[in-house]
Structure 1
């Protein structure tokens, strides 16, 4: 496993995303991922699977201190007291005394709470030892800038959609300047990269699949970590098998194919 470092914090570069994973499938995927070498697990209150994630962690023969565990605040849990209460509930479900990273899952569109109140509660939780680091998700540059200005705790990461069809260079440039990690979710464009002819051609030269090339493309970018979702052992192991080759600069440029249409199509396909 490789690591990315920001603000002196080492984060496993590749983790397991658990969006849409439920029940025994979720528990088994988490346990399998940890058993084969993952040390980064991502969940959220809104996913409704924190208990299953916790069961997977408990079943794996890996010390809790070796695991970088992330959860996220539901949109309903943004006032000071709801941040505190819901985080304690998350810890109970996860079966742990702390999470390594707590994120604001979405900007505060649906609540009167402002980000300053939410982040103040998160900073207090950090001081109490219930969380170790603070971050945000789905924040653009301006919202991330404002969050950094009002937060008493450093913003470690911004977790956003990022893959070859969705351009995040402006945000990534900002993150690099300010020593903030960019965590890429949906790195395989919800499966759309699997039949991409460019990724197929490049992958053939390395004996890698299009999915592995897409993940390698992300991981070769300074300051980027990624959390692909997978359920089967085969896919979990394949996603981890991306640290033994390196793309050329020309290949890195060719893989980047910004397309809002393809991104939207991938999202709609995933919801069917």
Structure 2
């Protein structure tokens, strides 16, 4: 009985990048406008195929981010997930390795290679289905955003989006922007204070716009938060940026 020689399936390997940052107190994701088919004119994540068989996947991710959006200095990329459902790409069977970066103060992107444009888009607009996205990129973005939200629960990442010194109100605004919820200032203050070493006092008090004094803080030595800043434990009752709630220890929760 003859056996047909085995032939490997035709599979293409690609990378996609979910780059998140805060702009004007809102969480934004980096998108490019596709300049080629398929999905020409639609928004998509920056990414593409490996340039050659010997290219490292992580190197390909860095290269695509630089070529398509002009961002060569994005810190720490980490692997988010792998997407490989049949039919996700009309060009054939494509497996995509998605990478995630969450970083403060990222510059305006500059489109290149086969991207007709590059821009930052508010995450809530992208996830609301009001924006036409290529491939399965809305799902990949949703996974990246959820990963970012979990990171804020368990790590000190939020302080990276603040100035060298900041008020608790300013730190709260970071959590509200990433989590997409409004937080009760009293509950937030209590959770921050319970995470010993998360933030530490930093110098004299600052007067806010309404003239009230606000304590200044800076990042502490703690990188992993315990107890975590669990979203489910945060009361959603105060509007974002509200600095009028009274601090249980005196003064203002700012």
TM-score computed with the length of structure 2 as normaliser: 0.29
Which one has a bigger Cα radius of gyration? 2
Which structure has the highest helix share of the two? 1
Which structure has the highest strand share of the two? 2
TM-score computed with the length of structure 1 as normaliser: 0.28
